[in-house]
């Protein structure tokens, strides 16, 4: 069995209102077909079709206030209610308690200790590593978990040779914004296909997409709809190269944001979980997923890995 975890930052299930919710407005033909015409909006979950399921799970974890990225992502990656542990939601960058919690064991380290082949498929540009090494930047929760588990982050060279995918899927942003004109550029569909093919050589792969959270904070409807159309094309590329009998594609988020452009803040909406794969493989996820802390234990069970080593 294999699993591709496609993490999309800052998306919840919001109102069916196209004036504030790009999920009620954007063109997403691939997702529409997968989910039998259901949109990623409040009231659509649960939905189950021959190839996919849509669930909704809680991101507040019983703690007052608006969920934040650092504690939400740490809860996903550890299976521990990190906001409850520290008494509040925190982010976007991890504080020391979050860093320590990830260092004490996370999805990547559990898989590594269980002998599973795992990879974080995001490529990072030279300027990112320069900022980290100079102390101008710290790792966000997901790369922090990867580093804590003893993995190295993928680089410009990995992207060049097709071993990773850039945060914008295509690599065009590296040319336009990072002044890296030799960056190879691919289409969103090709990015999806690459994610699927890279996962085929692994037990577990993870890809993080965060531009959705930025669009939510900036309240950019046109940008948000464009991003959703791109994500939909990426998913089309993934599923075209995916064998539903051999594994699961899991798509989820850490908190709501982009589904309500009437505010710049995160929301307390439940977040979607999309599962793509054969019905029998989805069954365990459907049975137990209730909030962010259920994700890692369920993945470990699915991949026959352990969290107590």
Q: What is the pLDDT along the chain (309 residues), one digit of tens a residue?
A: 999 999 999 999 999 999 999 999 999 999 999 999 999 999 999 999 999 999 999 999 999 999 999 999 999 999 999 999 999 999 999 999 999 999 999 999 999 999 999 999 999 999 999 999 999 999 999 999 999 999 999 999 999 999 999 999 999 999 999 999 999 999 999 999 999 999 999 999 999 999 999 999 999 999 999 999 999 999 999 999 999 999 999 999 999 999 999 999 999 999 999 999 999 999 999 999 999 999 999 999 999 997 754
The number of beta carbons lying within 10 Å of the beta carbon of residue 3 is: 24
What is d(CA 86, CA 200) in angstroms, rounded to the nearest whole number?
38
Beta strand pairing call for 247-252 and 47-48 = unpaired
Q: What pLDDT does residue 309 have?
A: 43
The conformational region for residue 208 under phi > 0 = left, psi -120 to 50 = alpha, else beta, is beta
150 by Cβ neighbours in 10 Å (0-12 / 13-18 / 19+) ranks as exposed
What is d(CA 173, CA 156) in angstroms, rounded to the nearest whole number?
13
Q: What pLDDT does residue 283 have?
A: 95
Copy the structure tokens of residue 267.
Answer: 């929301």
Domains and CATH numbers, the chain: 2-12+57-271+282-302 (3.40.720.10)
pTM of the model: 0.97
């Amino acid at each position: 069995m294999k699993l591709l975890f496609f993490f999309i930052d800052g998306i919840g299930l919001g109102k069916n209102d196209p004036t504030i919710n790009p999920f009620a407005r954007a063109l997403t033909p691939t997702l529409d077909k997968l989910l039998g015409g259901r949109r990623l909006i409040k009231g659509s979950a649960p939905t189950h079709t021959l190839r996919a399921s849509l669930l909704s799970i809680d991101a507040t974890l019983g703690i007052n206030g608006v969920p934040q990225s650092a504690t939400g992502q740490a809860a996903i990656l550890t299976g521990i209610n990190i906001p409850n542990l520290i008494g509040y939601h925190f982010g976007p960058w991890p504080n020391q308690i979050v860093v320590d919690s990830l260092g004490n064991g996370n999805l990547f380290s559990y898989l590594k200790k269980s002998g599973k082949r795992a990879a974080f498929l995001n490529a990072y540009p030279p300027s990112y590593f320069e900022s980290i090494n100079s102390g101008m930047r710290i790792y966000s929760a997901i790369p922090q978990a990867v580093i804590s588990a003893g993995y190295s982050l993928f680089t410009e060279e990995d992207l060049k040779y097709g071993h990773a995918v850039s945060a914008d899927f295509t690599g065009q942003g590296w040319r336009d914004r990072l002044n890296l004109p030799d960056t190879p550029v691919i289409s969103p569909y090709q990015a999806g296909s690459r994610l699927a093919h890279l996962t085929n050589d692994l037990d577990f792969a993870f890809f993080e997409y965060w531009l959705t959270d930025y669009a939510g904070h900036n309240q950019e409807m046109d940008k948000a709809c464009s991003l959703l159309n791109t994500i939909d094309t990426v998913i089309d590329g993934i599923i075209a190269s995916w064998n539903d009998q051999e594994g699961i594609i899991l798509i989820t988020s850490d908190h709501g944001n982009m589904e309500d452009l009437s505010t710049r803040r995160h929301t307390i909406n439940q977040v979607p979980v999309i599962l793509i794969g054969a019905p029998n493989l989805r069954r365990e996820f459907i049975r137990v997923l209730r909030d962010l802390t259920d994700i890692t234990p369920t993945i470990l069970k699915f991949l026959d890995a352990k969290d107590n080593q």
